[in-house]
Amino acid sequence: SQQGEEDPQALSIQEGENATMNCSYKTSINNLQWYRQNSGRGLVHLILIRSNEREKHSGRLRVTLDTSKKSSSLLITASRAADTASYFCATAFMNRDDKIIFGKGTRLHILP
Amino acid sequence: EAEVAQSPRYKITEKSQAVAFWCDPISGHATLYWYRQILGQGPELLVQFQDESVVDDSQLPKDRFSAERLKGVDSTLKIQPAELGDSAMYLCASSPFRDRSYGYTFGSGTRLTVV
């Protein structure tokens, strides 16, 4: 499958700690996106990083992209209970009409 | 903040019945997507509209699924007949960009249970 694969599948951390999720993919991409999904709800677009970018920040979120390793990471600093959700990476592959493909997600649980 | 509206939020239907979902994208968004998300999985694209035209329905099971966006605004996704394996979350998303590699705005989805 060409979809991105998130790691770990599930993660539980204490409130206030940092959470790191990873995404790996197999073929060249135009960009990579991260989405959040609260239980039973739709997805919320968090951040898009282009293939020529290495790092982007948005509030408490930091995304890195290493195209040589075909991997990305999402760091959430100073986690809060409201960060409990599933996080998906979505990759826009080259030569596939820019269709974005979602991974299976990382389920993050913030413990009080 | 503008939202993508979907209805109903929940739908329970019996096997072999027909079911329909409705989506109203953000005003001015020409591109509309329908996704299916099985529990524990990521969303998978079913169909993409550009205005009123279908531009990608390669993953739509056309023997039982149909989608339309007659006036290029709101859209309906129909399943007839529903099967047990259709139980999933059906998500609608829209974008102001024709290029589908940009981020989308999703609705809250319709949770379908087929019994």
Given this model, what pLDDT does residue A63 score? 98
The series of mean pLDDT values per 10 residues for chain B, 115 residues long, is 93 98 96 95 95 94 96 95 97 90 91 98
Given this model, what pLDDT does residue A97 score? 66
- Other beta carbons within 10 angstroms of residue A38's beta carbon come to 14
Average pLDDT over residues A87-102: 82
By DSSP bridging, strand B110-114 and strand B10-13 are: parallel
Confidence of residue A96 (pLDDT cuts 50, 70, 90): low
Tokens, residue B51: 């205005």
Given this model, what pLDDT does residue A2 score? 55
Do the Cβ atoms of B108 and A99 come within 8 Å? no
* pLDDT surpassing 60 at residue A1: no
Given this model, what pLDDT does residue B73 score? 93
Q: Nearest-CA distance from B106 to chain A in Å?
A: 6
As a residue count, chain B comes to 115
Given this model, what pLDDT does residue B42 score? 94
Average pLDDT over residues A81-104: 87
Given this model, what pLDDT does residue A95 score? 65
Query: Which of A88, A98, A104 lies closest to B100 in CB terms?
Result: A98
Average pLDDT over residues A39-52: 94
| Continuous H helices in A2-76 | none
- Cα(A61)–Cα(A84) distance, integer angstroms: 14
Residues of A in contact with B111 (CB under 8 A): 40
Residues B64 and B83: beta-carbon distance below 8 Å: yes
- DSSP E strands: which ranges in chain B? 5-7, 10-13, 19-24, 31-37, 44-50, 53-56, 65-68, 75-79, 88-95, 105-106, 110-114
Residues A51 and A67: beta-carbon distance below 8 Å: yes
- Cα(B111)–Cα(B8) distance, integer angstroms: 8
Looking at the DSSP bridge assignments, the partners of residue B41 are none
Handedness of CA B102, B108, B109, B115 (dihedral sign): positive
Interchain contact B22–A (C-beta under 8 A): no
Residues of B in contact with A92 (CB under 8 A): 100-101
